[in-house]
A and B are shown apart, each in its own frame.
Chain A
Amino acid sequence: QVQLQQGGAGLLKPSETLSLTCAVYGGSLSGYYWSWIRQSPGKGLEWIGEVSHSGSTNYNPSLKSRVTFSVDTSKNQFSLRLTSVTAADTAVYYCARRMVQGGDCYYGHWGQGTLVTVSS
């Protein structure tokens, strides 16, 4: 059974850089896109973007200028960096594995979520 385990700092000051990791257990990074999705307090789900095992990326245009994804196949994990954070970036951040079936793409496995709070 695939499990995603998230790590990273939960409290940041404005202008700092958010860094989160997602370690994959019980499966390989190969053959999938690995995604980051966030949820602001009391709000819905916002797709941040995704990275493949080979490093191909797709981004939410609204965040693209501040986001970097990376993959570490030796550790079987992938990472998110979001620069110049503000209070608007306060959210629970989730990692997830994108599944593909025909033209359908969906998220069958999720990390536990990391609450990131941006406050001075």
Chain B
Amino acid sequence: IVMTQSPATLSVSPGERATLSCRASQNVYSNLAWYQQKPGQAPRLLISGASTRATDIPARFSGSGSGTEFTLTISSLQSEDVAVYYCQQYDHWPARATFGGGTKVEI
């Protein structure tokens, strides 16, 4: 399964909404996760199951979608949200995880 993210770079003003897209080449149902990666850091899990926020993730982050089309929304962009965001799915047969190419969010 190929995961395609768009856009590659997203410029958003502070306080504005950021909308990131992830498309799967096949139906992955709701089995999709989102990660945030800041420079020099490991990725951090934001969303699992397409829409379930991970522990301690602010409510301004939300995920939606199912099947092949998914969206990560940052409702009011903060300066600390500048990062690269990745989507990820997991195939069970054969077992394999696949990540999207990432969307860089900048102010």
Show the binding face of A for B, using Cβ within 8 Å.
35, 37, 44-47, 50, 58, 60-61, 94, 98-99, 101-108, 110-113
Contacts and interface: CB of A to CB of B under 8 A. Distances in A.
A4 B31 CA distance: 24
Given A104-B33, A107-B43, A44 B98 contact: no
Nearest to A112: B42
Interface in B39-82: 41-45, 48-49, 54
A45 B31 contact: no
A107 B99 CA distance: 12
B96 A47 contact: yes
Which size class do B's interface residues fall under? 20 to 34
A45 B45 CA distance: 14
B43 A44 contact: no
Interface stretch (B9-17, B18-26, B84-92): B84-92
B48 to A, nearest CB: 5
Interface of B: 29-33, 35, 41-45, 48-49, 54, 86, 88, 90, 92, 94-102
Interface of A is mostly: strand
Ranked 4 nearest A-B pairs via Cβ: A105-B90, A106-B33, A58-B95, A110-B42
B23 to A, nearest CB: 15
B90 A104 contact: yes
Nearest to B5: A44
A60 B96 CA distance: 7
A58 B43 CA distance: 21
A20 to B, nearest CB: 14
Contact of B97 (A47, A108, A111): A47
Contacts of B49: 101-102, 104
B86 A104 contact: no
Contact of A44 (B29, B97, B101): B101
A105 B35 CA distance: 13
Given A104-B48, A106-B90, A107-B43, A35 B31 contact: no
A112 B86 CA distance: 18
A88 to B, nearest CB: 18
